[in-house]
A and B are shown apart, each in its own frame.
Chain A
Amino acid sequence: MLYHPPCGVFCKVIPINIQLISERSVFNWVFTILASLVLLFIIAPLAGMFIHSSFSEISTTAADHEVQRSVWYTLAIAFTATLIFAIGAVPLAWIMAHRDFPLKRVAQGIIDLPVVLPHTAAGIALLGFISRDGLLGSVAQKAGILLINNGAGIALAMAFVSLPFLINAARDGFAAVPERVEKAALTLGASQTRIFFTVSMPLAWRSIVSGFIMMFARGMSEFGAIVIIAYHPMTAPVLIYDRFNTYGITSARPASIIFILVALFFFILFRVLATERRSTLWREEDASD
Chain B
Amino acid sequence: MLRTEKLNKRLDAFSLREISLVVQPGDYYVLLGRSGAGKTQLLELICGLTPPDSGEVFLNGENITHKKVQHREIGLVFQDFALFPHFSVKDNIMYPLKIKGIPLAEKVRRVQRVAEEMNIRHLLLRMPGSLSSGEQQRVALARTLVTDPKILLLDEPMGSIDASLRDSIRRMLRRLNRNGQTIVHVTHDFDEAISLANRVGVIHNGRIIQEGTPLEVFNHPVNRFVARYAGIKNFFKVTFITNYRNCSGLTERRTKLKMPKGEYPSSGLLIIGSSEVLLSREGVPGMQMNNIHGRIDDIVPSATGYEITVNAGDYFYADITHREMEENHFVTGENVIISFRPEALRLVGETDNRNN
Residues of chain A having any CB pair with chain B under 8 Å:
178, 180-181, 183-191, 194, 198-199, 202-203, 281-282, 284-285, 287-289
Contact = CB atoms under 8 A, between A and B. Distances in A.
Contacts of A188: 95-96, 99, 143-144, 147
Given A187-B74, A190-B95, A178 B82 contact: yes
Contacts of A183: 44, 49, 78, 82
Interface string B45-88: 00101000000000000000000011100111010101111101
8 contacts: A181-B82, A187-B75, A188-B96, A190-B99, A284-B88, A285-B128, A285-B129, A285-B130
B99 A281 contact: no
Top 3 closest A-B pairs, CB basis? Answer: A288-B130, A285-B129, A184-B82
A264 B49 CA distance: 47
Given A284-B126, A285-B129, A288-B130, A186 B86 contact: no
B86 A180 contact: no
* Majority secondary structure, A binding face: helix
A12 B49 CA distance: 78
A198 B95 CA distance: 10
A194 B85 contact: no
Given A180-B80, A188-B144, A188-B147, A203 B86 contact: yes
Given A180-B82, A188-B144, A189-B96, 14 more contacts: A181-B82, A183-B49, A184-B76, A184-B78, A186-B49, A187-B75, A188-B95, A188-B99, A189-B71, A194-B99, A282-B86, A284-B129, A285-B130, A288-B130
B82 A186 contact: no
Interface in B78-126: 78, 80, 82-86, 88, 95-96, 99-100, 126
Contact of B69 (A187, A281, A287): A187
B127 interface: yes
A199 to B, nearest CB: 6
Contacts of B71: 189
Nearest to B149: A187
Given A181-B82, A184-B76, A199-B84, A285 B127 contact: yes
A202 B69 contact: no
A282 to B, nearest CB: 8
A61 B248 CA distance: 108
A180 B78 contact: yes
Contacts of B99: 188-191, 194
Contact of B70 (A186, A203, A285, A287): A186
Contacts of B69: 186-187
Nearest to B155: A180
Nearest to B43: A187
Contacts of A285: 85, 127-130
Contacts of B74: 187
B95 A187 contact: no
A287 B128 CA distance: 12
Nearest to A289: B129
Contacts of B82: 178, 180-181, 183-184
Given A178-B82, A183-B82, A189 B70 contact: yes
Nearest to B131: A288
A203 B85 contact: yes
Interface in B127-184: 127-130, 143-144, 147
A181 B129 contact: no
B78 A202 contact: no
Contacts of A194: 99
A276 to B, nearest CB: 16
Given A186-B70, A189-B100, A189-B147, A181 B84 contact: yes
A187 B47 contact: yes
A187 B129 contact: no
Nearest to A205: B86
A199 B83 CA distance: 10
Nearest to B146: A188
A191 B100 CA distance: 11
Contact of B129 (A185, A203, A288): A288
Contacts of A202: 86
A185 B85 CA distance: 12
Pick from A185, A287, A289 the residue with the most CB of B within 10 Å: A185
A190 B70 contact: yes
A202 B96 CA distance: 17
Contacts of A181: 82-85
A185 B95 contact: yes
A237 B144 CA distance: 56
B179 to A, nearest CB: 21
A280 to B, nearest CB: 11
A158 to B, nearest CB: 32
Pick from A189, A194, A287, A289 the residue with the most CB of B within 10 Å: A189
Contacts of A289: 129
A58 B83 CA distance: 55
B248 to A, nearest CB: 55
Contacts of A185: 84, 95
A289 B128 CA distance: 12
Contacts of B128: 285
A191 B98 CA distance: 12
